[in-house]
Every structure is written in C-alpha cells, then in structure tokens.
C-alpha cells in the first residue's frame, strides 16, 4: 500500500486493495502509507494470509501492535517493521564508538519541517527511529519526564523527553519541527572515558531499503533464529511503549 496512486508502472497496472487482499498470486504486502493507516492495513493483509513489511512505526498504539503480533503468529505469517535507520553508516559508527563505554549523560536533538500529526502520529511515534537508536545504543530506557511546546498558529512544535538508562545514565531526546527548520540531527554523549560530539560524515547510506528487504526475505525463508525474532519484537514493543507513555505525559487525557 502506497501513499499515492501510481496508475501503471513498467506496464504493470496498479490494483485495488480489495483485489490485492483476494489475490492468490500475492503472498506479501509492503505498506508504505501514512502511519495512521498502518494498523488497519496490517490487520487486513494478515487476515487475508499475507506476509507484511511495514514502515515504522507499525502502529500508533502499544496495544494495537501487541494484537497484530498475536494475529501474525495465529496466521503463521511474518510481520516485519522496517528499520532502515539501523542500517545507516552513521549508526554503525555510533555503535562502534559507544560499545563498552558507560554513559553519564547525552542528548539527541532532531530538527525538521512540520509533519501532519493526524497522518504520522504524535512526535514520539513519528520520531521513533531516533528513539530506536537510543535504545539500541544504550539498552532499555526508563521515562523520567516529557514536555511539549505546541504553537499551532506558527506550525511549531518541540517535544523534550528525559530518559534514564539501566546504569542511571541520563538522556535528553528532543524533536523540534517548524517552518524553516532544516532536517538535522545533533548528538552529544558524555562517557566516563570521554565524549562524543555529533557524528562525522560516515559515508553514503547505500541500498539501505534493499538491505532491510533482505532481512525480511531471510525471515520469510526461516533463516532468522527465534531468539533474534523475539529480541527484535521486544525492542520494537519497548520503543512503542515508551512513545505511548511520552504521548500520555505530553497530552494527558481529560
């Protein structure tokens, strides 16, 4: 499922959702639509017996994601959440630099132009790739606090989240979006043994989407261990749970 109509591509005609769900020739669905539609599309394709690859975040709700994992298991189908950010050269550099070091404090500040929250979710969900970086680098995190500055009249938004590692290291995650803000990522980590300020140019991120699809194919072929699948699912659910808790602190229900 795509965000736009393609008509025909290389003489292959685009088909309707209904036809895709019913077709015996289609075994796999790639979902590349707005985040708000992911849950419904995943559910429909799993119910129809299709394997699913979906862009992150797979859902905008922890409970919904839990339900979909259970549905995939019941149907004996692969549900794969794409995470190309973990295949970037910058992340590989960071992982190497962070390995074996004890974090004292750090920050990750992301800036970009505005996103429609109705389509892509609260910033903790639309920015979940940054949260995934922090979890993969420093392990499971505890939420200390979260605040939101939201000036709708200016299309400006700033979410500030304080997190803690299992070793009591402190992390500040900021998502800042508004007109004129360029897409940038600012990093600062202080360790007992030194510090790291931002990431040098680590090279071109080549074929990261194809690499992620290769991981999906390995799952389809049964080449990924049950232990690795369980660890990946645990990490995805941990990040979704944090994102949901952050949203609740920033936008408490009345």
Sign of CA dihedral 24, 25, 29, 33: negative
One of 82, 175, 176, 244 is an active-site residue; which one?
82
One of 35, 39, 41, 55 is an active-site residue; which one?
55
Q: Which two tokens stand for residue 109?
A: 């500040």
186 is catalytic: no
Q: Name the residue among 36, 183, 39, 38 with its Cα closest to residue 120.
A: 36
CB neighbours of residue 76 within 10 Å: 8
244 is catalytic: no
27 is catalytic: no
Strands 51-54, 79-81: pairing is: parallel
Quick one: 192 exposed, middle or buried, by C-beta within 10 A (0-12, 13-18, 19+)? exposed
Q: Which two tokens stand for residue 140?
A: 């499971």
Helix H or strand E encompassing 67: helix 62-75
56 is catalytic: yes
* Contact (CB, 8 A) for 65 and 242: no
User: What is residue 57's DSSP assignment?
Assistant: P
Per-residue buried b or exposed e for 83-115, using 16+ beta carbons within 10 Å of the residue's own CB: bbbbbbebbebbeeebeebebbebbbbbbbeeb
One of 56, 81, 117, 126 is an active-site residue; which one?
56
183 is catalytic: no
235 is catalytic: no
One of 129, 175, 235, 244 is an active-site residue; which one?
129
One of 130, 175, 176, 235 is an active-site residue; which one?
130
Q: Rounded to 5 degrees, what angle do the CA atoms 107, 169, 60 make?
A: 60
Can the peptide bond before residue 148 be classed as cis, meaning omega within 30 degrees of 0?
Answer: no
Catalytic residues: 55-56, 82, 85, 129-130
């Amino acid at each position: 499922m795509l965000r736009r109509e393609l008509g025909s591509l290389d003489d292959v005609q685009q088909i309707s959702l209904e036809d895709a769900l019913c077709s015996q020739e289609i075994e796999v669905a790639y979902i590349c639509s707005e985040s708000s539609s992911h849950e419904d599309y995943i559910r429909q394709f799993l119910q129809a017996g299709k394997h699913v690859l979906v862009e992150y975040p797979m859902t905008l709700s922890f409970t919904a994601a839990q339900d979909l994992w259970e549905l995939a298991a019941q149907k004996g189908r692969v549900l794969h959440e794409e995470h190309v950010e973990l295949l970037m050269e910058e992340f590989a550099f960071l992982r190497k630099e962070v390995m074996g070091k004890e974090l004292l404090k750090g920050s990750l500040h992301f800036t970009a132009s505005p996103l429609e929250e109705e389509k892509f979710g609260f910033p903790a969900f639309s920015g979940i790739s940054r949260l995934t970086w922090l979890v993969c680098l420093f392990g499971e995190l505890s939420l200390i606090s979260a605040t939101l500055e939201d000036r709708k009249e200016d299309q400006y938004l700033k979410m500030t989240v304080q997190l803690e590692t299992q070793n009591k290291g402190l992390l500040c995650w900021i998502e800042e979006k508004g007109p004129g803000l360029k897409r940038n990522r600012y990093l600062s980590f202080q360790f007992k043994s030194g510090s790291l300020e931002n990431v040098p140019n680590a090279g071109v991120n080549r074929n990261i989407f194809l690499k992620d699809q290769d991981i999906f194919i390995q799952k389809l072929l049964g080449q990924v261990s049950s232990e690795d699948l369980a660890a990946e699912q645990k990490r995805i659910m941990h990040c979704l749970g944090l994102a949901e808790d952050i949203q609740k602190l920033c936008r408490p229900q009345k």
